[in-house]
Each structure stands twice: as structure tokens, then as C-alpha cells.
């Protein structure tokens, strides 16, 4: 079965589409631009609609980035690097994303965030016993790195639970080794 191509929209219909899109969830200007490009009958209509959305206050990347970063920190306990990576994937300008992350994480203690993350992700387990096993320790390290925490802080916290510090030293040296990609 062939997929039906969406009907192309004029400027007025494009504006209605954008307002419905933003009414459902917050989006960055880059995300909205991409969605509008796919549906626009004329490319010039995209910039006109984006300009109107910004003038009306419906589209503000700085506010979006700050709200997104705060939400990821407070609700999901992600670290700086993950929040920054997610904002960039959401097509927020690098400078805007970096400023939002810097302001959001100002005054936060990464060590405490790592400890909270571990307590939440491994809830119901005795962390000393669970992370005493090398494979679980390596798994926890990978999860912390994916969640956006620095290698140094992650290793410092995990060393409290490790029976064998050498495992963490190996992980740290693997992190600093140049990748082939």
C-alpha cells in the first residue's frame, strides 16, 4: 500500500497547522521549520509563518531550551551532556542550548545528581552488593555516561561501591582513548 503524500498548504493553512502543532507540545524553531517545510506549497511561506509565530510569542527557542533543560534535570535526572545533546537534536541553536544548560545546571552538584541517578535506576537493590560485581559496575558506568554525567564524577562515585578499583581505572582509560569513528 502506497503512502499518501500530505496536501501542500498555503500560508494561512500553514499558520493553522503550526498553531495546532505547538498546541500539542513544545517545539523548537528548527523543528517547526522542518515540519512546515514539508507541508508548504511555497518555501517563502515558511519564514513568514515562523516570523508571525515568534511575534505572537508562540515560538521562543530560549524559553523552550530553558524549560526543556530544567525538565530533564528535575524529572529525569539527566546530566549536562545529555541535556545539551538532546537540545541539539531538537534543533536548538548551539549557543542558545549551551546558555540554557549552563543556567539550568548552575549551582547543581554533579556528585549528588549521580548518586540520585544511581539510587533511582537501581532502586530496591543494595548498591554496595550490586555494584560490587564488575559487570554491574561497568553497566552502571555506561548508564551514567549515557545519562550525561562526566566520566570523572561517575568514577569517583562508583569507586565507593567497587570491590576492585582497577575495573574503574580501565573504564576511565577506555573513555579517554581516541575512537575510530
**pTM of the predicted structure, to 2 decimals:** 0.86
Predicted confidence at residue 169, as pLDDT, reads: 74
Give the distance, in angstroms, between the CA of residue 106 and the centroid of all CA atoms in the same chain: 17
What does the pLDDT look like over 106-139, one tens digit per residue? Answer: 999 999 999 999 999 999 999 999 998 989 999 9
Domain ranges of the chain: 11-55, 61-105, 110-175
Average pLDDT over the chain reads 92
Tell me what pLDDT residue 180 has: 43
Residue 108 CA: distances (Å) to CA of 22, 28, 54, 89, 101: 31, 25, 31, 24, 11
Give the tens place of pLDDT for each residue, 54-90.
999 999 999 999 999 999 999 999 999 999 999 999 9
Amino acid at each position: 500500500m502506497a503512502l499518501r503524500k500530505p496536501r501542500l498548504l498555503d500560508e494561512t493553512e500553514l499558520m493553522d497547522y503550526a498553531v495546532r502543532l505547538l498546541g500539542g507540545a513544545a517545539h523548537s524553531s528548527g523543528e517547526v521549520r522542518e515540519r512546515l517545510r514539508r507541508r508548504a506549497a511555497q518555501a517563502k511561506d515558511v519564514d513568514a509563518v515562523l516570523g508571525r509565530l515568534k511575534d505572537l510569542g508562540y515560538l521562543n527557542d530560549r524559553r523552550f531550551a530553558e524549560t526543556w533543560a530544567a525538565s530533564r534535570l528535575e524529572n529525569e535526572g539527566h546530566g549536562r551532556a545529555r541535556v545539551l545533546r538532546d537540545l541539539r537534536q531538537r534543533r536548538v541553536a548551539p549557543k542558545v542550548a549551551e546558555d540554557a544548560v549552563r543556567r539550568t545546571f548552575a549551582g547543581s552538584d554533579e556528585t549528588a545528581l549521580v548518586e540520585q541517578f544511581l539510587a533511582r535506576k537501581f532502586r530496591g537493590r543494595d548498591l554496595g552488593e550490586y555494584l560490587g560485581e564488575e559487570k554491574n559496575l561497568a553497566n552502571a558506568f555506561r548508564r551514567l555516561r549515557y545519562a550525561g554525567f562526566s566520566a570523572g564524577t561517575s568514577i569517583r562515585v562508583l569507586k565507593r561501591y567497587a570491590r576492585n578499583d582497577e575495573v574503574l581505572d580501565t573504564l576511565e582509560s577506555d573513555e579517554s582513548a581516541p575512537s575510530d569513528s
